[in-house]
Amino acid sequence: MADTVISPDTLRRWIHLYTTKEGMDEKCARYIAPHLSPMCVRKDLVDPAWWQLLVKHNLNYDEGELIDKFSITYILRRSYVDAADFLHKASLDLNRALRLAQAVWSFDQHGDFGAVLRMCEPLLAINPFERFSFGGDIQYDVACLVYVAKLFFQMIKHVLASELSEKPVQLWFCDEANIKKANDLRLEGNELFRKGNLSAAAALYTQGLELNRFCHFLHGNRALCYLKMKDFSKAFDGGLYATFCDSFYAKGYQHAVNAAYKLGRFEEAIGICAGAIPGNKDLETLMEKVSRSMQGRQWSPPKPNRTEAAAEGPPKTESDPAKTVEFKPQRIEKENEAALEVKLAEAQSQVSYLEGVAADLKTEIARIRKEEAEEVAEAKQKTIQAEVEVLRLRKEAELRRLQKKLERAETAAQVAGEDFARQGTSAARETHVTCLTQVADIKRAMDKLSILEVYYDSFPKRKSVPRFRASQ
């Protein structure tokens, strides 16, 4: 294997370092993650041949503001992250790592994705019927894996060549001199921000990002400037970029959520909160705020406690009499015993009436819940039946395709056999053997499809239906 990608000795050094050095897995994840985000997977930053590969398999992020394609961006980034997780484990097996490196080198040299597909497809196989998937078909998954592998091997060479394993992960991204210059610009921008000069502060943060584009503080501070200047789309992008650089940077999530809230994009705001740092109180408060807005209720601060309410004056009563219950204790003066007994009887009658109403409501609620559960169960059953039918149709279509392919292969084998019988040459013999092998492969594929028929009758009784993949 050529050293233009990575050598076996380098991989051996990496495997030893990765398995013996504590914290290397976290550093690798923090380094790779930003390189798989929209801030790096761009036409001007990716080699032309690799960019064409990403575009062909829908692995490129759309251009423009992230707020308009938030869900698509996160789905694609999830594919990249899943591929990176798979690669972290695969790289610890020298044979698998060498095969991936060979695939990267092959595409770099020849641009032949067909050869890459043949090399990488076995690496994703779990068993003859199942494989690892990053969210698409086999071509999508292989293209995703080999691009992440290219970045991964570049990281390995960079870390080993510069002896960065002992150094903080910030120095993996950028040299120390540029980090210092960018930090000085950030401090100057902070001073301008405190003075209220937001545009000048944002400009300094931008200059800092030109020196260190992976600094989450610079992205976050600039996003805050955009928020103050009411440029909410840029604030949203900046907040997300900050979280791409450091997934534990809470302020980045807050800036993105606040920007989405100001733009009225409540679903995007909820999505960010749900996928952010678990247990963060500020984000939980923001999520409650957005949820109230989605329900059509205006956000208001928490109600004051009893002491504060007493200091501010008596509370105002609601104008809607249906929602207002006013209790006025009555004096009982000089009432005889008979009058008291009458009132007691009336109260007991009212209590009995309310208890009956409550019982009726409980019965009605139980009935409604039962009907809803039956409807849900029926819908699930119909869904499973529909999936089974789709599987049957796909299986039949695949069998028809394989049958036609088998007929052509058998015809070719017959012709090759006649040629071999007539000529008796080694070339004719090899052609005949190749045709017979193809016939056997097709028959095995048809047998595998036939085995699936055994499971179809049991699918309606199951909670889900396994995915069917046509043979490649």
pLDDT at 322 exceeding the cut of 50: no
For residue 319, the model assigns a pLDDT of 32
What is the widest separation between alpha-carbon atoms in the chain? 130
pLDDT of residue 342: 59
Count CA atoms within 13 Å of residue 156 on its CB side: 26
Place of tokens 């009907």: 371
Does position 407 have pLDDT exceeding 70, yes or no?
A: yes
Share above pLDDT 90 across residues of the chain, in percent, rounded to a whole number: 26
Work out the angle at residue 160's Cα, subtended by the Cα atoms of residues 155 and 163, and round it to the nearest 5 degrees. 120
C-beta of residue 287 within 8 angstroms of C-beta of residue 261: no
Band (pLDDT 50/70/90 cuts) for residue 420 is confident
Residue 218 has pLDDT above 60, yes or no: yes
CB neighbour list of residue 69: distance below 8 Å, 6 or more residues apart: 61, 62
Within 275-336, where are the H helices? 281-294, 306-312
Pick 402 or 330 by higher pLDDT. Answer: 402
- Quickly state the pLDDT bin for 207 (edges 50, 70, 90): very high
Cβ-contact 273, 253 below 8 angstroms: yes
CA–CA distance, 255 with 242 (Å, rounded to integer): 9
Q: In this predicted structure, which of 34-43, 98-107, 205-214, 283-292 has the lowest mean pLDDT?
A: 283-292
Query: Which whole number is the average pLDDT over 77-97?
Result: 89
Better-predicted residue by pLDDT, 75 or 458: 75
**93 has pLDDT over 80:** yes
| Helix intervals (H) in 195-249 | 198-211, 216-228, 232-245
Q: What is the pLDDT of residue 345?
A: 62
**pLDDT digits over 14-31, tens only?**
888 888 888 888 888 889
CB 158 within 8 A of CB 172: yes
Residue 451 in tokens: 């085995």
* Chain center to CA of 384: 26
> What pLDDT is stored for residue 235 in this prediction?
92
| Cα→Cα distances 237→33, 204, 289, 383, Å | 17, 18, 21, 39
CA nearest neighbour of 436 among 414, 466, 454 = 414
CA end-to-end span of the chain: 28
Residue 328, pLDDT score: 35
- pLDDT score at 310: 35
3: phi then psi, degrees, rounded to nearest 5: -80, 0
- The fraction of the chain above a pLDDT of 70, given in percent, is 83
Mean pLDDT of the chain: 80
* Integer angstrom CA distances of residue 169 from 10, 46, 72, 165, 233: 20, 22, 29, 8, 30
d(CA 121, CA 108): 18
Alpha-carbon gap, residue 192 to 97, rounded angstroms = 50
Would you kindly state where each structural domain of the chain is located, as residue ranges?
A: 8-172, 176-294, 347-461
pLDDT level of residue 381 (50, 70, 90 thresholds):
confident
**What confidence tens digit (pLDDT) does each residue in 134-178 have?**
888 999 999 999 999 999 999 998 888 888 888 888 888 888 899
If residue 126 lies in a helix (H) or strand (E), which one and from where to where? strand 125-127
Q: Please give the residue that has the higher pLDDT: either 263 or 469.
A: 263
Residue 171: what pLDDT?
Answer: 85
The pLDDT assigned to 349 comes to: 62
Distance between alpha carbon 201 and the CA centroid of its chain, in Å? Answer: 33
- Of 96, 246, 100, the closest CA to residue 170 belongs to 246
Q: Is the pLDDT of residue 37 over 60?
A: yes
Average pLDDT (31-56) is 91
- How sure is the predictor about 180, in pLDDT bands with cuts at 50, 70 and 90? very high
Higher pLDDT pick, 235 / 280: 235
The predicted pLDDT at position 141 comes to 92
pLDDT at 297: 47
Its CATH class, for the domain covering 176-294, is mainly alpha
Question: Where is mean pLDDT largest: 14-18, 207-211, 244-248, 292-296?
Answer: 207-211
